[in-house]
Amino acid sequence: MAKVIGIDLGTTNSAVAVVDAGFPMLLANQDGKRLTPSVVHFDTASHPSAIGEEAARMGLLEPAQTVYSVKRFMGRRFEEVTQQEKEVHYPLNGSKGQPIKVALKDRCMLPEEVAAEILKSLKKTAEIALECSIEKAVITVPAYFNDAQRQATMEAGRLAGLQVERIINEPTAAALAYGLNKLKDQARIAVYDLGGGTFDITILELNEGVFRVLSTQGNTCLGGDDLDQAILDHFLQIIGKEVELDVVLEEQGALPRLREAAQKAKIALSTQASTAVKLPFLGKDFHFNEEFTREQLEQIALPVIDRTRPHCVRAMHDAGLETVDLDQVLLVGGQTRMPLVRKRVNAYFKCSVFEETRGNVRLGDTFHTPDGPTLNTGQNPDEAVALGAAIQGAILSGEIKHMTLLDVTPLSLGIETFGGLMNVLIPRNSTIPIKAGEVFTTAVDRQEETLIHVLQGEREKAADNWSLGRFMIPFENAPKGVPRLGVQFEIDANGVLNVLARDIHTGNEQILEFKSVIDVEDATVTQMVESAVEHAMEDLESRHWIENSLKAKTLLKAVKQSVDECSDVLDAHYLASVLEASSKLEGVLARENTEKRSGDTNSLKSAIKNLDEITQELAHIQLDRMAASYLDQEQEP
Ligand code: AMP
């Protein structure tokens, strides 16, 4: 059975995991570390020369050639990226409407090309650890990632030589790693994810083993880095009191050393009450020696951490929930290892688990609500996402059975409608389970049955999509437009599609089941989406033409009938103008089988408009006639 690895492609750190003998586990890289900094260093010829920790070290010396936080730019256009996000140590370029690019010395790279280097290194880590070649992966993305960002992540995987079996949401992966899919039938979970550079809060609902995102909020420029900066500013203040600050700062490497020390101190204070910060020769003849306590850290950190609170409130509001409606709060992201973060999250969500304050620090507003959610700290917060991705990988490879998971429809589903067009009932990327329906009618008089042709795909014309199946549904005999046919599509948690068609008047119905419409090869999905994009203009043109030609045919038929009925009272000159407008429309319509250009649909529309306007008088004559014949009938004895 080919292994499917799970990858957490993070803004600050990335990780790779796999399920082995039924157990999910993180794989250590060549430095023996389970987290690989998401940093790529490029040499002077703009070739990737180091990934991970070594690249991060090179970043101190050659910042312009060292790319970090590239995830922020994936699948985004230049103007979509905020000025704050653009403040990185390496150059970026791009113009309005174009993707943002990393501008290396000799070449410009798309963010996904840089991310591919990180993925290649994680793939290698897995291959060395598992002693086999790895081709398939599940990669996680934030829940707020849009289609373009998800596509860019897929592309990064492809460039790294990986077949991306599935892109899944990070909070869903975390919930899987925490084993929450085994919770009671219905549960609501908040996933609080504070990493190095980003903060996300997502509210999930678990329903019979299937996760659904209820709301998601966050800040792409808020995380542990802001705490490091706040600590650094505190250190600079202390230094400034002792010596001339500029003199220290002009020393090469002083600032990066201080930043590194700030982060180390922050991490140490997650488990200790105080730490000694020692930086000999930070400036000329200046040594920085400082005892830094958790109490000091927490005072500095509190305002930064509390910037996450409004997002939590907003996410709960968007999900329409109160904190008592939540069952669990999960912690994800390295920064949530900090005790103060846990205390604050405890307070925001009024958790029932009370965390003892350690050291001398008391914040005073830690809640204890008996019926509040449980703050679940059972997993390493910076490992949970990759572990969850590996579990999803194992589900896909068949290594783990009897487990369902939130999924989305990879392609749109619908039925063929008048003129051979596809009418979408469930759009692509809809979360399953899902139910959707529409009411249709007949286009022909006295139609006794109609064909339900079930389609999957992104193209406008039915013939360009995949046919999943067809079935006939009988109708009560009635004039066109009178019958009402209800069509309902329902996809269950296992991806099984049930199509129900019902004659609303008679209640006569047919149901057809289609086995998993979800398990479509990613490459095939990509092909379909690409062809939809490639043919978007001509497809739209076809749709416009077909819709207007149906209108034209109906109008021509109605005009012919009116002319036949009223020919005796029509002025010859007026009749000639009606016939001329009709034949002009027929002439345009005759181009149906030739290759159409956009001008043809416009000609069709104006020929319809012309005939419609000219026949207004005819419509009035016919109405008068109908009214007169009705009155005659009334007066008959
Ligand atoms: P992530 O993006 O999830 O890898 O998180 C990285 C952030 O977590 C960085 O800002 C780290 O400094 C921070 N971090 C990692 N471990 C700890 C720890 N034990 N205590 C406090 N912060 C930590």
Which residue's alpha carbon is nearest to atom 7 within ligand 1?
Answer: 196
Which phi and psi (to 5°) does residue 281 adopt?
50, 45
What value does the mean pLDDT of the chain take?
Answer: 87
Q: Are 114 and 70 in contact (CB under 8 A)?
A: yes
Region 299-314 average pLDDT = 95
Residue 382 pLDDT greater than 60, yes or no: yes
| pLDDT level of residue 354 (50, 70, 90 thresholds) | very low
Ligand 1 pocket test: pick from 219, 267, 272 the residue with the most ligand atoms within 8 Å of its Cβ. 267
Ligand 1 midpoint to CA 382 (Å): 8
Omega into 111 within 30° of 0, i.e. cis? no
- pLDDT above 90 coverage of the chain, percent: 50
Which phi and psi (to 5°) does residue 325 adopt?
-75, -15
Q: Are 181 and 173 in contact (CB under 8 A)?
A: no
Q: Is 323 in the pocket of ligand 1 (CB under 6 A)?
A: no
pLDDT digits (tens, 9 = 90+) for 200-219: 999 998 876 677 788 888 88
Query: Alpha-carbon distance 14 to 55, whole Å?
Result: 14
Query: Alpha-carbon distance 270 to 234, whole Å?
Result: 18
Ligand 1 midpoint to CA 90 (Å): 23
| pLDDT level of residue 250 (50, 70, 90 thresholds) | confident
| pLDDT level of residue 369 (50, 70, 90 thresholds) | low
Ordered by where they begin, the domains of the chain are: 4-178 (3.30.420.40), 224-301 (3.90.640.10), 413-519 (2.60.34.10), 536-635 (1.20.1270.10)
Q: Is 337 in the pocket of ligand 1 (CB under 6 A)?
A: yes
Residue 628 pLDDT greater than 80, yes or no: no
| pLDDT level of residue 306 (50, 70, 90 thresholds) | very high
Q: Which of 106-120, 138-152, 338-352 has the lowest mean pLDDT?
A: 138-152
Q: Is 392 in the pocket of ligand 1 (CB under 6 A)?
A: no
Ligand 1: which atom is nearest the Cα of residue 263? 12
Burial class (CB in 10 A: 0-12, 13-18, 19+), 69: buried
Query: Alpha-carbon distance 156 to 148, whole Å?
Result: 12
Ligand 1 midpoint to CA 224 (Å): 6
Ligand 1 pocket test: pick from 29, 220, 382, 385 the residue with the most ligand atoms within 8 Å of its Cβ. 382
CB atoms within 10 A of CB 595: 7
Q: For residue 436, what is the enclosing H or E element?
A: strand 434-440
Ligand 1: which atom is nearest the Cα of residue 35? 4
Q: Is 382 in the pocket of ligand 1 (CB under 6 A)?
A: yes
Burial class (CB in 10 A: 0-12, 13-18, 19+), 98: exposed
Ligand 1 midpoint to CA 225 (Å): 9
**Which residues are bridge partners to 438 per DSSP?**
487
pLDDT digits (tens, 9 = 90+) for 22-73: 889 999 999 999 999 999 999 988 899 999 999 999 998 899 999 999 999 9
**Which residues are bridge partners to 474 per DSSP?**
449
Which residue's alpha carbon is nearest to atom 20 within ligand 1?
Answer: 267
Q: Give, in degrees to the nearest 5, the angle at Cα 169 between 164 and 175.
A: 120
Residue 436 pLDDT greater than 60, yes or no: yes
What tokens were used for 549?
């030609």
Region 586-594 average pLDDT = 78
Ligand 1: which atom is nearest the Cα of residue 266? 21
CB atoms within 10 A of CB 513: 11
Ligand 1 midpoint to CA 337 (Å): 7
Which residue's alpha carbon is nearest to atom 6 within ligand 1?
Answer: 196
Q: Is 169 in the pocket of ligand 1 (CB under 6 A)?
A: no
Residue 366 pLDDT greater than 50, yes or no: no
Q: Is 263 in the pocket of ligand 1 (CB under 6 A)?
A: yes
Which residue's alpha carbon is nearest to atom 9 within ligand 1?
Answer: 196
- What are the residues whose beta carbons fall under 8 Å from the beta carbon of 238, sequence distance 6 or more? 290
Q: At what angle do helices 170-177 and 384-397 cross, to 10 degrees?
A: 80
Query: Alpha-carbon distance 2 to 160, whole Å?
Result: 18
Q: Is 14 in the pocket of ligand 1 (CB under 6 A)?
A: no
Query: Alpha-carbon distance 191 to 493, whole Å?
Result: 22
Ligand 1: which atom is nearest the Cα of residue 225? 10
Q: Is 6 in the pocket of ligand 1 (CB under 6 A)?
A: no
Residue 443 pLDDT greater than 80, yes or no: no
Query: Alpha-carbon distance 233 to 230, whole Å?
Result: 5
Residue 310's pLDDT is: 93
Region 565-579 average pLDDT = 86
What tokens were used for 440?
């249709």
- What are the residues whose beta carbons fall under 8 Å from the beta carbon of 24, sequence distance 6 or more? 6, 17, 18, 177, 387, 388, 390, 391, 394
| pLDDT level of residue 278 (50, 70, 90 thresholds) | very high
- What are the residues whose beta carbons fall under 8 Å from the beta carbon of 233, sequence distance 6 or more? none
Ligand 1: which atom is nearest the Cα of residue 270? 20
Residue 252 half-sphere exposure, CB side, CA atoms within 13 Å? 3
Query: Alpha-carbon distance 121 to 127, whole Å?
Result: 10
Q: Is 308 in the pocket of ligand 1 (CB under 6 A)?
A: no
Ligand 1: which atom is nearest the Cα of residue 227? 10
Which residue's alpha carbon is nearest to atom 15 within ligand 1?
Answer: 334
Ligand 1 midpoint to CA 18 (Å): 22
Q: Are 496 and 513 in contact (CB under 8 A)?
A: yes
User: Which residue, 5, 162, 4, 167, is CA-closest to 74?
Assistant: 167
Q: DSSP letter for 596, please.
A: P
Hey, which residues are catalytic here?
A: 8, 71, 170, 193
Residue 7's pLDDT is: 98
Pairwise pLDDT comparison (356 vs 507), residue with the higher score: 507
| pLDDT level of residue 136 (50, 70, 90 thresholds) | very high
Q: Are 228 and 255 in contact (CB under 8 A)?
A: no
Q: Is 336 in the pocket of ligand 1 (CB under 6 A)?
A: no
Pairwise pLDDT comparison (189 vs 517), residue with the higher score: 189
User: Which residue, 168, 187, 192, is CA-closest to 376?
Assistant: 192
Residue 109's pLDDT is: 97
| pLDDT level of residue 406 (50, 70, 90 thresholds) | low
pTM: 0.67
Q: Is 270 in the pocket of ligand 1 (CB under 6 A)?
A: yes
Q: Are 549 and 592 in contact (CB under 8 A)?
A: yes
